Amino acid sequence: MFRFFKQAASMKAKNSLFPPGKRFASIISDGRGKCGEKFDTSYKVCLENEKSNQKVKDVTMENVRGYEFPKVCLRYGREDAIQHALAVGIDESYPNWAHYLDQGNKSFQILPTFLLPVANQILLELSWQSQIMPNERTVHGEIYIKMLQPLKPDGEICFELELVDILDKGKGTNFCYNFHGTDATGCKIFFIEYQIYEIGARRYSSPGAGMSTHQSNIVPLVSPPQGREPDVVLPFTAVPFDPKYFETVKSPPKDMSLFATNYHKQYYAITDKLRPEPRCHGRYYLGAVVQNILKYFGEGDVSKFKSVKTRLSYPVSPGETILTKAWHLGERIHFETFSKNNGKCVLKASYIDLA
């Protein structure tokens, strides 16, 4: 069993952080008008737009620009946010830990990476339901999260998906997506750029020699300062490999929250013929690095967080220790993360902007 799940259980007994019974984040709208359905391991997000004459199964790279994806809305609670905080490594040693782990805390806060499991699930469903990109050859590329308003402890958030561009990168194809996030009233809450890279394929691409011609303001990566030692090196050790992982791949658990600390996809990426060995999920160790940097430079206060930009450049194995080198320049924390085992850069040319 995962170590964080054990930790959650012990904290539950010690501090009564979790209420009795189960509680899951739930879909409240996915274009079909259904409400109150659990957004869990057995739920499939429907990306069919009933107002469109085009079926999602017929959407390809060539005709996707004419397809409007339905808005996916999520109802969530403090329990979901607590599960995510535990999964990425927050415990009682964290500054202001009760803001993340005590559901009764009056200053309860939610990490920005809480949004990524939902965004990732939507893109997975897109790969399965349409002909735009095949999931079996894709990996995470660049991710950018900008918070326009802090996430409320409980509430509703809506994800509006937009395909920005498809770029031929020579050795593969880069799919550039945006998520525009609002609350139930339509107030803008967040913005996410999510790039998915298809390995070993050169397919239809927008003109521009691999550069975006549809949106010139895609947020760029920024290299750390050259010739200067980092201000701090922050270690993080990923969860060890759980042999039960392959069992859950063959028979996925039913009715388990996407945020559950004992749900294998919180930590592990999907294995397939191209990548048979277990790997940690990029959004998992990115979440761990974000909270680690916030702990050191922001006193663990997520209200100081404005945005993060990174490129996931190399896989991380279960149990592996990664080292984040960080440079503090004004309101910006530049960082790059390396494997302690082999020295490979796993998060490249990255930064976090603080308020």
**Tokens matching residue 329:** 């320049």
**Tokens matching residue 240:** 């060890």
Q: How many domains does the chain have?
A: 1
Burial group, residue 250, by CB count within 10 angstroms (0-12, 13-18, 19+): exposed
Q: What pLDDT score was predicted for residue 182?
A: 94
3-state secondary structure of 124: helix
The CATH number of whichever domain residue 11 belongs to comes to 3.10.129.10
Within 10 angstroms of residue 210's Cβ, the number of other Cβ atoms is 12
How far apart are the C-alpha atoms of 88 and 259, rounded to whole Å? 11
Closest CA to 17 of 72, 120, 111, 86: 86
Can you tell me which residue has the tokens 């900008």?
A: 146
Encode the chain (355 residues) as per-residue pLDDT tens digits: 333 333 433 344 333 333 333 334 555 555 444 445 555 555 567 777 777 788 888 888 888 877 888 888 888 889 899 999 999 999 999 999 999 999 999 999 999 999 999 998 888 888 888 888 776 677 889 999 999 999 999 988 999 998 888 888 777 888 899 999 999 889 999 999 999 888 776 555 555 555 544 456 689 999 999 999 999 999 999 999 887 766 666 666 666 677 878 777 778 886 666 667 788 999 999 999 999 999 999 999 999 999 999 999 999 999 999 999 999 999 999 999 999 999 999 999 999 999 8
Q: What pLDDT score was predicted for residue 24?
A: 45
Give the type of residue at 296. Answer: Y
Within 10 angstroms of residue 215's Cβ, the number of other Cβ atoms is 12
Within 10 angstroms of residue 216's Cβ, the number of other Cβ atoms is 7
What contacts 202, CB < 8 A, 6 or more positions away?
Answer: 168, 170, 172, 173
How far apart are the C-alpha atoms of 256 and 258, rounded to whole Å? 6
Q: What pLDDT score was predicted for residue 246?
A: 66
Give the type of residue at 102. Answer: D
Query: What crossing angle do the helices spanning 3-15 and 78-87 adopt, rounded to 10°?
Result: 130
How far apart are the C-alpha atoms of 272 and 242, rounded to whole Å? 17
Give the type of residue at 112. Answer: P
Query: What is the reported pTM?
Result: 0.86
**Tokens matching residue 208:** 């521009």
Domain that holds residue 84: 3-354
